[in-house]
Amino acid sequence: MYNFRNDYSLGAHKKILEKIIEFNSEVNTGYGLDMHCMRAASLIEKELDARADIHFISGGTQTNLLAAAAFLKPYQSIIAVSTAHILDNETGAIEATGHKIIEIPGEDGKISPQSIENIMRSYGSESKTQPKMVYITNATELGTIYSIKELEEISRVCKKYGLYLYMDGARLAHAIMSEESDLRLSDIARLTDAFFIGGTKNGLIMGEALVILNEELKPGFRYIYKQRGAMLAKGFFMGIQFEALFEDGLFYELGKYANDMAKKLSVGLREQNIEFYARPVTNQIFLNLSDELIERLSRDFLFETMILPNGEKVSRLVTSWATSEKDIDAILEFFRNENK
């Protein structure tokens, strides 16, 4: 079977694994207070061109729920588009911290400044929650990305209304390394209050780096980190991996590689006149395939198919640092044979 199911099916990229092996016998301080976590944070700060509090967390759902628990007062809510991962793919993790998510329509998985304005104008009463954070993902759940200009406009409306801007970067490497992206980590650091850099989907065994930029959000975070079970005894395990990811550009390299594989795949699919559900610019490719095609494709290829509320089916092919040219060739070969 060829794997296009997701970008977290294997262990770690070999450079990551080598570092884990290298430091396996070293005595380290516990709870994320070790030298590897510090050095990893310092390497990331260089990319940000900003001072940040950086915490390493085992997964995206946990990172998002820690942010909600730590950043918001009990009556404050989060604005997010209907495709947002936190809305319907994290088992109500945000609501379990006591906070409401205000769902608004998105466009290609993205939020618009105007839709935030609309919400803020209709809120304000004490019988409603107080919107306080805007949640966006980059790359989005549909594989699309934000430009500097878009992020600047969103940031401006957030500042206008005193909203925190938070970016879920589970696939941030893929967003930044998209051919169509003009965003760098330093832009994100300049324009958001907090965001996270995904490692799990970019070559690590596990780990996301939560980057807190807004000074008022920094104090007390480690209490929440411990209280919600996210502080690992051997926190250095994540520090070591992020160190490896950022000490010589591996973060960017792996993101670019996955995108390149996706590009090769989408170019090939376009030649076969396959219909795209969303324009492919990162490592996720969404397709409208017939039931028969889905059935035949799934004989040799691992991938997921979602059923939308309106009954429509959308199939997703994901590439990663672990995808080989051979995988791409095989799947394109499949489609070519179908078209004969």
**300 to 1, 65, 327, 338: CA distances (angstroms):** 5, 37, 11, 14
CA 78 to each of CA 89, 116, 167, 228: distance values in angstroms, whole numbers, following the listed order: 16, 11, 12, 20
Amino acid sitting at position 273: N
Q: Are strands 164-168 and 194-198 parallel, antiparallel or unpaired?
A: parallel
What is the closest distance, in whole angstroms, from the C-beta atom of residue 21 to a copy of itself in the complex? 7
Select 147 or 298, whichever has its Cβ closest to a copy of itself.
298
Residue 183 or 230: the one with the smaller Cβ distance to a copy of itself is 230
* Residue with Cβ nearer a copy of itself (61 or 178): 61
In the range 208-237, which residues lie near a copy of itself by CB under 8 A?
Answer: 220, 222-234, 237
| Nearest distance in Å: CB 212, a copy of itself | 15
Which region, judged by CB under 8 A, interacts with a copy of itself, from 37-45, 85-93, 135-143, 254-262? 85-93
The answer to the question of residue 59 lying near a copy of itself (CB under 8 A) is: yes
Question: Token pair for residue 217?
Answer: 């959000």
Q: Note whether 154 and 161 are within 8 A (CB).
A: no
Question: Distance between CA 249 and CA 22 in Å, rounded?
Answer: 19
Backbone angles phi, psi at 110, to 5 degrees: -110, 155
Residue from 49, 51, 98, 271 in contact with a copy of itself (CB under 8 A): 98
Reference 264, options 340, 176, 174, 326; nearest CA is 326
Query: Which member of 43, 44, 52, 65 binds a copy of itself (CB under 8 A)?
Result: 65
CA dist 28 and 36 (Å) reads 9
Tell me the closest approach of the beta carbon of residue 157 to a copy of itself, in angstroms: 17
Site for a copy of itself in 184-203 (CB under 8 A): 200-201
Q: Which is nearer to a copy of itself, 101 or 287 (CB)?
A: 101
Binding to a copy of itself, residues 277-336 (CB under 8 A)? 302, 307, 309, 322
Candidate ranges 6-14, 184-192, 244-252, 289-297; the one touching a copy of itself (CB under 8 A): 6-14
